[in-house]
Structure formats: C-alpha cells, structure tokens
Amino acid sequence: MSIWFTEELHPYYRKGIRIKKILADEQTQFQHLQIVETEFFGKAMILDGIIQLTERDNIGYHEMIVHVPMLAVGKPKRVLIVGGGDGGSLQQALRYPSVEEAVVCELDQRVVDLSREHFASFGDPWADPRATLLVRDAFGFLEENPGQFDVIISDTTDPIGMAERLFSDEFYRLMVRALTPNGAAATQCEQPFFDTELIKQIYRSAKMLTKNPAYYYANIPTYPGGGIGFMYVSNTPWETGLQTPFPPGVNNYINAEIHKAAFALPEFFRKELYG
C-alpha cells in the first residue's frame, strides 16, 4: 500500500508526494538519509525530511547549476563541487572534455554510497579517472586551495543545521578566493517567494566579491514552490556562456533559450534584489 510523504519546510507551506516503497532508511553520522520509490517521480533522496532530488526532475537542478558557470568559463580544467554526493552535478561536469579534474568535497560518505547503489541514471561518474572524492568539510579545503579552480559548484542542502555555514559571507569569500581570476561559481540559492531576504544577503556578499553576480532559477516540481534559484558568482558575465557550445551528451533541461530566460526575474523579485 502506498503512503504519502509530506514535507513542511516552511510553517505556512507543505507539499506531499506518494511513495510506493522505502529503499533505504538510516541515520548517518550527520543526517537522516532515506531513498524512496515514488509513484510519479521515480526514486528520490530525502535528507532530514527534505527532498533533495528525484529521478524525474533532478535535470533542472543539476544541468542549470553546472552548465551556466561551465559555459561562461568556456574550457574549464579544474572543477570543485561542494556537496554533490549524489553524483548528479559530477556527471554533468565530466561531460566537458577540457576537464582534467573534478573534485567533490562531500561530508557524508553514505550519501555517495547509497546514490551509487540507487541512482544508476547518473552513470556512476565516480568511476571516471578525472573524479576525486574528498570526504571532508569544504571550509578547510577552500582555505587550503586559493586560486585553484576554474569552476566551483556549491551543490548544498538547505541552510539548516551544519549547512547554514555554506550560505554565509565567509563561505562566499573563501569560494571566490579559490577561483582562478576568470573563474565562475554557481551556488544553490533558495526560492524567490520564500527566501527573499536570504537571497538579498547572498547577492550583496557576491557583489562585494565579484563584478558580475546574478541570480537565476529553474523549475523543479518537488522543491518548495516548484522551483529553485542559483547565484552566479564571477567577474566574467554570465552572458559569455551564451556563445559557448554545449558539451557532448544529451541535455534534458537546459538549452540556449532556457539559459537566457533563467536570468529574467519576476518584477517583484527583480525590484527586491536589484533595486
């Protein structure tokens, strides 16, 4: 018999999906980790009661957070993924022939283990010799590696508990410091309707650190409000990427039109963010 999983991330909003089967359910050293089979979205990963990805709609998240900064850089050689233990962002980054190394700095080994077991659609990017997994906190790694990465992807959970630090001014300072001079970063940056003040704070921080930060977003039905935003952080304008060909492989979400349109913000939010 199927059951409903209900997520209440905000006190005034909740959403639910129908689950057919629980595939994994464990308390790791850091979080409550579940893998479930849903009725419509395929397999899903849930961390501390919050949906992180599903097989059906992860494409909007992973393709947008990876390709926007990668295309802006053009031919990135070294890539850092903060979090990203599910392997979805790594899969997209490794599509670029120019990439010589993609480092994933993930705190929880069990996220990697269970993702390799249950999300075969990601093609086990960990087996690629260019992929390096570091099971450690990202702050220390960023401090140790100034100016080392052409692209940084901050593929994080919501700003709750330990993840709050990954939305701080200090994290953004360290992240920008770890970029090469013309490098670019993209971070998970919450939802315009629910998280306006947090996004404004992050944008102010990004603007103090780089010349051309910008907010963009994608449609992901299983995230609160049906979408998620990203902060592009770079001295290189994001528009540069519109002239770069997509890498080999199949896009299921991003195309040239979506790439450009993602930066067109609703008027109420544009006024709040850019004034």
| Per-residue pLDDT at 140 | 92
| Per-residue pLDDT at 160 | 61
Look up 155 and say whether it is catalytic.
Answer: yes
* CA dist 216 → 112, 179, 187, 234, 260 (Å): 27, 20, 10, 14, 9
Nearest C-alpha neighbor of 258 from the set 236, 242, 270, 234? 242
| Per-residue pLDDT at 157 | 74
Which 8-state DSSP code applies to residue 247?
P
Q: Could you report how far apart the first and last alpha carbons of the chain are, in Å?
A: 51
Residues in the chain: 275
| Per-residue pLDDT at 156 | 87
H helix runs in the chain, sequence order: 58-73, 88-93, 109-118, 138-144, 169-178, 196-209, 256-261, 267-274
Q: Which one of 57, 155, 158, 195 is the catalytic residue?
A: 155
Per-residue pLDDT of the chain (275 residues; tens, 9 = 90+): 669 999 987 888 999 999 999 999 999 999 999 999 999 999 999 999 999 999 999 999 999 999 999 999 999 999 999 999 999 999 999 999 999 999 999 999 999 999 999 999 999 999 999 999 999 999 899 999 999 999 999 998 765 665 577 678 999 999 999 999 999 999 999 999 999 999 999 999 999 999 999 999 999 999 999 999 999 999 999 999 999 999 999 999 999 999 999 999 999 999 999 98
Nearest C-alpha neighbor of 155 from the set 97, 211, 112? 112
| Per-residue pLDDT at 10 | 81
How many Å apart are CA 34 and CA 14, to the nearest integer?
Answer: 19
Q: What domains can you pick out in the chain, each with its CATH number? A: 3-54 (2.30.140.10), 58-274 (3.40.50.150)
